[in-house]
Amino acid sequence: AQSVSQHNHHVILSEAASLELGCNYSYGGTVNLFWYVQYPGQHLQLLLKYFSGDPLVKGIKGFEAEFIKSKFSFNLRKPSVQWSDTAEYFCAVIPNNAGNMLTFGGGTRLMVKP
Amino acid sequence: DTAVSQTPKYLVTQMGNDKSIKCEQNLGHDTMYWYKQDSKKFLKIMFSYNNKELIINETVPNRFSPKSPDKAHLNLHINSLELGDSAVYFCASSPQLSRASSYGYTFGSGTRLTVV
């Protein structure tokens, strides 16, 4: 079945550590890729998105993600995390051949220790 | 000026009751959606509406019925609530179909439904 996978369910880091969260998808063809963040008790906010062009995408709050088509991956990175980055992170995909259904991965809970 | 607003933010109700959650967007988007987030934070699409027509209807119980009086509103009505309906429900919207793929969705702040 077509899906979006986030293999890291829980990540705990100390402040200033580097972050990389994995995301893989199993859709064939062209896809549009997104990372959303959900801070505790809040709604989903768009961090960054990729739909064409440079595969290295920069988003808000110092986050970036790299689309590697050959690996069906769109990993999220940040060189130095802060305590305020503690949140749930969701990778999501809209395949171009499936209307506009935004399908989410299972999420990764990031906890940053001060 | 909240782009996608949902009411109520919290809803606690007894099993068997009927309840509604309202959603409004002021972005001029053509498509609106309802997502359910379970206790493990997994997000699953329930419905979407485009120009007042249902275009996606995942395998949700028919106790759930979306109602859209106009393209700025998509309400969710739930009949005969069950314990398993407890979750956070998110409304979202996106531009016309040809642009939604590159734009993404804008989400509301969620409604935490607790069935007791």
**pLDDT at residue number B71:** 87
Q: Please write the tens of the pLDDT for every residue from A55-107.
A: 999 999 999 999 999 999 999 999 999 999 999 999 999 887 656 688 899 99
The tokens describing B35, both together, are 């997502």
Predicted confidence band of residue A22 (pLDDT cuts 50, 70, 90): very high
**pLDDT at residue number B103:** 75
On chain A, the residues whose CB falls within 8 A of the CB of B106 are: 46
Average pLDDT score over chain A: 92
Q: Which of B48, B97, B102 sits opposite A32 (nearest CB)?
A: B102
**pLDDT at residue number A1:** 59
**pLDDT at residue number A71:** 94
Q: Which of B31, B42, B110 sits opposite A100 (nearest CB)?
A: B31
Preferred mutation among B105, B106, B109 to probe A, highest tally of A CBs within 10 A: B105
**In sequence order, what are the residues at sequence separation of 6 or more whose Cβ sits closer than 8 angstroms to the Cβ of residue A6?**
A21, A22, A23, A89, A90, A91, A105, A106, A107, A108
Least CA distance to A104: which residue of chain B?
Answer: B43
To the nearest 10°, report the CA torsion of A75, A80, A82, A86: 20
User: Where are the alpha helices (H) located in B30-116, listed in sequence order?
Assistant: 97-103
Contact (CB<8Å) B48/A101: yes
3-state secondary structure of A71: helix
The tokens describing B21, both together, are 């959650």
Question: Residues of chain B whose pLDDT is less than 70?
Answer: 1, 52, 56, 58, 96-102
**pLDDT at residue number A43:** 87
Read off the pLDDT of each residue in A15-30 and give the average, rounded to a whole number: 92
Predicted confidence band of residue A5 (pLDDT cuts 50, 70, 90): very high
**pLDDT at residue number A51:** 87
Read off the pLDDT of each residue in A18-42 and give the average, rounded to a whole number: 91
